[in-house]
Amino acid sequence: MLTFEELIEKNGIFADLNALSPHYIPDVLPHRDGEIETLMKGVAPALKDARPKNMFLYGKTGTGKSSCSKSVMERFNAMNRNAIMKYINCRIYDSRYKVIFKINNEICKCDAKIGYPLSKLYETMVEWVEENNMHIVVVLDEIDMVKDVDDLIYTMTRVNDELERGSISLLGISNRLYFKERLDPRSKSSLYEKEIVFRPYTANQLYDILKQRAKIAFVEDAVDDAAMNLAAALAARETGDARYALKLLQKAGVIANENGDTRVSEKHVEMARKSVDEDLVIEAISTLPQHEQIALYGISLLQLKGSAYGKLGENVEDVFISGEVYDSYMNACKRLGVSPRSARWFSEYLHDLDMLGLITLTASGKGVRGQTRFIKLTYDAMKIKVLVEKIFS
Ligand SMILES: Nc1ncnc2c1ncn2[C@@H]1O[C@H](COP(=O)(O)OP(=O)(O)OP(=O)(O)O)[C@@H](O)[C@H]1O
Ligand SMILES: [Mg+2]
């Protein structure tokens, strides 16, 4: 009879599965020495009783922004000075109130309760920083998710005008190119005192990252060089995303294990590709801001229903014009009980969805009026519909 012991021990070619989990951060992050150094220099003044400049860190998904920041933070906090770096995931703490609430409870340790007015939380924070002469660097990861981000930046910057001792500075992180443009000019100049850009990884760099991780995650010699080369090349061709490359490797390992193979080969990476691509799309959709999810939902409903434009006998199948897509978005909002945003916002959502590769957006050629654009889904309409309905249920 099968025992749990057997099941637990049955890791096959894996030596340490944990090393491939999304939360794992290796001690050394290959090809990010320069970026880590810049970050360290940026926050170092706090260790010498001065206010570091606010910083903004931009880079495409999977370029190591979160990992490098956390790694710097660990070393910074190990210095045990009058300075603290605090990581806040703005996907969860997505408003000025929530961020300041968290600082109250986790840095100032003052046991704030939900419902306390913002002014009270603010005063407690200011008093605590001043009394302890503390320099706080708040890492706001995925800062684009904060709803009232201009207010947050304004408040956190203004704190310093009131402080005689200590300081608060911000390290904002985002993979959204358009985040900067949406900011109020005043918050922009506050946050962008210093800007750091993380470039996508090249295939060679991704190979090194995979090689380092394979050494920890797999038993010796369990991964073919060719398999890592292929995973690196595929990821580099897409976006230079280390997360994608690592997922390919992990999934390829699982497939090899399931087949009872003792080495991960190119064949397994090829097989892994489809399921990883699908997982990533699902993840991308699940983590979109609400209105972008609805926009995408609107397009899939339209596609399932068939475009009016298409019915008029135009050549294009499953390609929609922006007007009908906006109408469908408005209907979808009604259906989901959410108040719709203006057409101007909507056009930004489409832009974002295009950037993320979830739709393709093409400008109309000559002859079609003004701002009309053509929109096409890149992923299965039915799957999107089911997924978004699940999210909103
Ligand atoms: N230089 C590197 N060396 C080793 N692993 C890396 C490196 N860069 C990224 N990774 C790994 O790739 C994955 C993605 O990295 P990370 O989460 O830091 O990306 P990100 O830039 O924050 O992406 P996103 O914009 O999607 O949040 C993580 O599992 C991380 O451990
Ligand atoms: Mg990140």
Question: What whole-number distance in Å separates Cα of residue 258 and Cα of residue 316?
Answer: 43
Q: Whose CA is nearest to atom 9 of ligand 1?
A: 64
Choosing from 205, 243, 288 the residue with most ligand 1 atoms within 8 A of its CB, the one to mutate for a pocket test is 243
Locate the ligand 1 atom nearest the alpha carbon of residue 31 and give its number.
1
Is the distance from the beta carbon of residue 174 to the nearest atom of ligand 1 less than 6 Å?
no
Q: Distance, CA 155 to ligand 2 centroid (Å)?
A: 24
> Residue 357's pLDDT is what?
87
> Residue 316's pLDDT is what?
58
Question: What whole-number distance in Å separates Cα of residue 358 and Cα of residue 342?
Answer: 21
Beta bridge partners of 167: 135
Is the distance from the beta carbon of residue 306 to the nearest atom of ligand 1 less than 6 Å?
no
Ordered mean pLDDT values, 10 residues apiece, the chain (393 residues): 67 89 94 98 97 97 97 97 97 96 94 93 97 98 95 96 96 91 92 96 98 96 97 92 96 94 96 91 91 96 74 65 93 93 91 90 65 87 93 90
Q: Whose CA is nearest to atom 2 of ligand 1?
A: 29
Name residues with Cβ closer than 5 Å to ligand 2, which is an ion. Answer: 66
Question: What whole-number distance in Å separates Cα of residue 369 and Cα of residue 386?
Answer: 34
276-311 in b/e form (b: 16+ CB < 10 A) is bbeebbeebbeebbebbbbbbbbbbbbbeeebebbe
Question: What whole-number distance in Å separates Cα of residue 287 and Cα of residue 91?
Answer: 8
List the Cα angle 106/167/55 in 5-degree steps. 90
Q: Distance, CA 382 to ligand 2 centroid (Å)?
A: 29
Is the distance from the beta carbon of residue 59 to the nearest atom of ligand 1 less than 6 Å?
yes
Question: What whole-number distance in Å separates Cα of residue 6 and Cα of residue 8?
Answer: 6
Q: Distance, CA 91 to ligand 2 centroid (Å)?
A: 10
- Residue reference for tokens 């057997």: 6
Domains of the chain: 4-20+202-278 (1.10.8.60), 33-198 (3.40.50.300), 290-392 (1.10.10.10)
Is the distance from the beta carbon of residue 242 to the nearest atom of ligand 1 less than 6 Å?
yes
Question: What whole-number distance in Å separates Cα of residue 8 and Cα of residue 60?
Answer: 37
Locate the ligand 1 atom nearest the alpha carbon of residue 65 and give its number.
21
Q: Distance, CA 135 to ligand 2 centroid (Å)?
A: 24
Locate the ligand 1 atom nearest the alpha carbon of residue 174 and give its number.
25
Residue 168 φ/ψ, nearest 5 degrees: -130, 130
Identify which ligand lies nearest to the alpha carbon of 198.
1
Torsion over CA: 376, 382, 383, 387 (sign): positive
In SS3 terms, the chain reads as CCCHHHHHHCCCCECCHHHHCCCCCCCCCCCCHHHHHHHHHHHHHHHHCCCCCCEEEEECCCCCHHHHHHHHHHHHHCCCCCEEEEEEECCCCCCHHHHHHHHHHHCCCCCCCCCCCHHHHHHHHHHHHHHHCCEEEEEEECHHHCCCHHHHHHHHHHHHHHCCCCEEEEEEEECCCCHHHHCCHHHHHHHCCEEEEECCCCHHHHHHHHHHHHHHHECCCCECHHHHHHHHHHHHHHCCCHHHHHHHHHHHHHHHHHCCCCCECHHHHHHHHHHHHHHHHHHHHHCCCHHHHHHHHHHHHHHHHCCHHHHCCCCCCCEEEHHHHHHHHHHHHHHHCCCCCCHHHHHHHHHHHHHCCCEEEEECCCCCCCCCEEEEECCCHHHHHHHHHHHHC
Identify which ligand lies nearest to the alpha carbon of 63.
1
Angle between helices 290-305 and 381-392 (to 10 degrees): 140
Is the distance from the beta carbon of residue 31 to the nearest atom of ligand 1 less than 6 Å?
yes
Is the distance from the beta carbon of residue 22 to the nearest atom of ligand 1 less than 6 Å?
yes
